[in-house]
Chains A and B, each alone.
Chain A
Amino acid sequence: QQQVKQSPQSLIVQKGGISIINCAYENTAFDYFPWYQQFPGKGPALLIAIRPDVSEKKEGRFTISFNKSAKQFSLHIMDSQPGDSATYFCAASNNFNKFYFGSGTKLNVKP
Chain B
Amino acid sequence: DAGITQSPRHKVTETGTPVTLRCHQTENHRYMYWYRQDPGHGLRLIHYSYGVKDTDKGEVSDGYSVSRSKTEDFLLTLESATSSQTSVYFCAITTSGRDEQYFGPGTRLTVT
Contacts and interface: CB of A to CB of B under 8 A. Distances in A.
Interface of A: 6, 9, 32, 34, 36, 41-46, 49, 89, 91, 95-104
A49 B97 CA distance: 14
A89 B45 contact: no
Contact of B42 (A34, A95, A104): A104
Interface residues of B, number: 27
Contacts, number: 56
A43 B35 CA distance: 11
Contact of A46 (B41, B50, B90, B101): B101
A103 B48 contact: no
A103 B40 contact: yes
A99 B90 contact: no
Nearest to B106: A43
Contact of A98 (B41, B48, B100, B105): B48
A96 B103 CA distance: 15
Interface of B: 1, 31, 33, 35, 40-45, 48, 50, 56, 58-59, 90, 92, 94, 98-106
A103 B42 contact: yes
Contact of A43 (B31, B45, B50, B103): B103
B55 to A, nearest CB: 12
A43 B99 contact: no
Nearest to A42: B105
Contacts of A103: 40-42
A96 B94 contact: yes
Given A43-B106, A102-B42, 5 more contacts: A42-B106, A43-B105, A45-B103, A49-B99, A101-B35
